[in-house]
């Protein structure tokens, strides 16, 4: 059996958010070889086009050389589709999040954005295995689009899904809502309980967001949790490598 694993995932990676992440990344690098998965947004909120930021692209290319993974995380990471009269849609797109870019897209629209994102990765010679939708929200049209593309996985908060058939793989994840002090306090309480519950889980994901890095309380939590899980013997991996390891293990069992 493989030892238990740990997946460290940085969400919303863009030129605008690099200043938030940089001190944390440096602290992780100081721990030794801890590969990370970076969820890269090609044009964050429509004013962070990677094309205009060669220095940041160089940072990402260096991370690949370091052993990290880059995954596609939407295209704009903002929901710019017309609003419907459906109350559930209104809640999901205006209360739950304003960033569910792929929540309501048709298959055609989703394919266009996904292909544009894939082209960005090809342009900069970045290997691409996975796509993660902003806020993990995808429409049925997006699901159909993903079945047509050369990607190996997508995910939601508690699973990875092998593509193209969306085979679920349990991968429980810790994630915070860190916009206010009470949210950070509640997030820590919930995360501590989940970590206890998942002590025997084959893998645990740590899903970090830029806002987590802007508050000492949440930033310290993530670094200490990472150190603790590493000390317990969990092996850090990228998402793509962990999934490939599971496939290899299944092949041996079969």
Go through the domains of the chain in sequence order and give each one's CATH number. 5-253 (3.20.20.370)
Q: Which residues in the chain show pLDDT less than 70?
A: 1, 45, 77-100, 248-254
Angstrom distance (rounded) from CA 96 to CA 94: 6
Angle at 50 between CA 104 and CA 93, to 5 degrees: 20
Question: What is the C-alpha separation between 105 and 140, in angstroms, rounded?
Answer: 8
Write the pLDDT tens digit of every residue in 16-27.
999 999 999 999
- Residues 32, 125: contact at Cβ < 8 Å? no
What gap in Å lies between CA 156 and CA 166, rounded to an integer? 11
Closest C-alpha to 160, from 192, 202, 123: 202
Share of the chain above pLDDT 90, in %: 72
Identify the pLDDT of residue 145: 96
Nearest to 210 by CA among 9, 55, 5, 29: 9
| pTM of the complete model | 0.90
3-state secondary structure 138-177: CCHHHHHHHCCCCCCEEEECCEEEECCCCEEEECCEEECC
pLDDT digit string, tens, across residues 60-118: 999 999 999 999 998 885 556 555 565 555 444 444 445 557 887 889 999 999 999 99
């Amino acid at each position: 059996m493989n030892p238990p694993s740990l997946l460290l995932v940085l969400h919303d990676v863009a030129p605008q958010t690099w200043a938030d992440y940089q001190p944390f990344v440096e602290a992780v690098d100081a721990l030794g070889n801890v590969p990370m998965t970076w969820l890269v947004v090609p044009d964050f909120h429509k004013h962070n086009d990677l094309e205009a930021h060669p220095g940041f692209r160089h940072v990402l290319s260096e991370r690949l050389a370091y052993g990290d993974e880059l995954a596609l995380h939407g295209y704009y990471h903002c929901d710019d589709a017309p609003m419907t009269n459906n109350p559930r849609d209104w809640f999901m797109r205006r209360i739950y999040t304003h960033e569910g870019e792929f929540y309501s897209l048709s298959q055609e629209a989703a394919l266009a954005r996904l292909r544009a994102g894939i082209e960005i990765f090809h342009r900069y010679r970045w290997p691409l295995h996975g796509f993660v939708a902003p806020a993990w929200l995808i429409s049925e049209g997006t699901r159909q689009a993903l079945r047509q593309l050369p990607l190996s996985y997508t995910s939601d908060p508690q699973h990875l899904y092998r593509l193209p058939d969306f085979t679920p793989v349990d991968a429980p994840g810790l994630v915070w809502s860190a916009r206010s002090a009470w949210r950070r306090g509640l997030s820590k309480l919930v995360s501590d309980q989940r970590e206890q519950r998942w002590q025997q889980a084959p893998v645990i994901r740590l899903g970090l967001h830029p806002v987590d890095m802007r508050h000492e309380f949440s930033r310290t939590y993530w670094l200490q949790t990472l150190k603790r899980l590493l000390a317990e013997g969990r092996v850090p991996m990228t998402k793509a490598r962990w999934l490939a390891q599971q496939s290899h293990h299944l092949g041996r069992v079969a």
